[in-house]
Amino acid sequence: MRIIETTIKDLLIIEPRQFIDDRGYFFESFNQNFFDKLGLNYNFVQDNESKSSFGVLRGLHYQLAPYAQAKLVRAIKGRVFDVAVDLRKGSETFGKWFGVELNEENKWQLLIPQGFAHGFAVLSPEAIFSYKCDQFYNKESEKGIIFNDRELNIDWKLEEKDIHLSDKDKILPKFRDSEHNFILKK
């Protein structure tokens, strides 16, 4: 595995080493020893998986502290544009977003620490998406930010007419009106 740093502190792309031959492929999607050696001290406790069709946009979601979730996300099938927004007060990149295409070919994963809003848009006809989380889902602490907030100005790589949202995601607040309680850990 190889770590690729992004433009936002602590937000990391993980590129696995793939072994490909005429039978198919093999790669480690997670290795606790690798994480430990890099000081990435996560205890993942819940795995989630979603299946979505073209244009589905899920997000931007997060849970308030003390129920905040770090996530290790990847596309098992298809292509998604994955986005994380820094909500950590005291961060030089507070209110900034980073996006990357995760797909079944590159096998990249995005490690999203606690204190970020997260969402993804499906760019392929279908996508299966996997999340490892270091906290359990807590409905009472669940929050979000509307996908098309002008202040964030996220390029989702889709035309707005093609975006399909859940009813819940259609009524999320703007960034400046959202509730968040994260502080950058030094």
Catalytic, out of 61, 62, 67, 180? 61
Residues 6+ apart with CB under 8 A from 109: 13, 14, 16, 29, 72, 73, 74, 102
The separation between the first and the last C-alpha atoms of the chain, rounded to the nearest angstrom, is: 26
∠ at Cα 62 (135, 124), nearest 5°? Answer: 105
Catalytic, out of 42, 118, 131, 180? 131
Catalytic-residue membership of 118: no
For residue 144 the two structure tokens come to 């979000």
The answer to whether the Cα torsion of 152, 81, 158, 142 is positive or negative is negative
Catalytic residues: 61, 131
